[in-house]
Amino acid sequence: MVGVGCPKGCGDLEYKDERPGSSFALIFLGAICLIVVVHELVFSVDLFLPVMLSIAGLWMIYYGFSMDKLSRLKCGVCKGVLIETKQIDDLLKDDAYYFRKRLEVSKNVSSYDCPDCNEKMRRFTITARQKTDYTSVGGFVVSALSMDKIKQIDGCSMCDLLWLDVDEENLLSGKGHNIIRNSQ
């Protein structure tokens, strides 16, 4: 079977299953609860706290393991990621349609070939602004001092694929930045 090649020419991409960071936190907290349960059972006569903690701990561990894993095609060399149709929706949420539309109308040709159809990918520019908390003075200071990040996103609208460098994937995850929509 022929693999999917990295658009940068590094070699074949591999599917990597990743859990969101919040699932690890839940599993860890659940394990801590269960350790406290054992401690309470050994050193306490009251059963209410151990029962409640064991229920909470088991629920956190179960929920942490039941969270969907993200399966993405990643390059082991350049750490870029090829985002396919469903992952575009999962990663970009409300911005998915905006990205697809920007890619579809882009006239800028990328230097990369699409690993699916072997046609030249297209490229468009996005601007991302750091999310800030405007309820505090610190939020205003962070907002005033933060610089917008401008990135070139490569993709193929025919195959509904986006190629993201490692820093672009983190930027688009929605955790720390908002995409600024404009008419570029």
pLDDT digits (tens, 9 = 90+) for 54-92: 899 898 888 877 766 666 788 989 989 998 888 888 778
CA distances, 183 to each of 98, 106, 126, 180 (Å): 11, 12, 10, 10
With beta carbons less than 8 A apart as the criterion, state whether 178 and 143 touch. no
Average pLDDT, whole number, for the chain?
Answer: 81
Residues 143-169 have pLDDT tens digits of: 555 567 888 999 999 999 999 888 887
Residue 32: pLDDT over 80 = yes
Element (H, E) at 26: helix 21-43
- pLDDT digits over 100-143, tens only? 999 999 999 999 999 989 999 999 998 887 766 555 555 555 55
Closest CA to 73 of 57, 64, 61, 86: 86
Please name which of 153, 73, 79 lies closest in space to residue 112, comparing C-alpha atoms: 153
Contact 18, 73 (CB under 8 A): no
CB–CB of 108/41 below 8 Å? Answer: no
- In this structure, the number of other CB atoms found within 10 A of the CB of residue 17 comes to 8
Query: What's the predicted TM-score (pTM) here?
Result: 0.65
Q: How far apart (Å, rounded) are the C-alpha atoms in residues 130 and 75?
A: 27
Q: Is the pLDDT of residue 184 over 50?
A: no
Tell me the three state secondary structure of residue 14: strand
Integer-rounded Cα radius of gyration of the chain: 22
105 contacts 128 by C-beta, under 8 angstroms: no
Percent of the chain with pLDDT over 70: 79
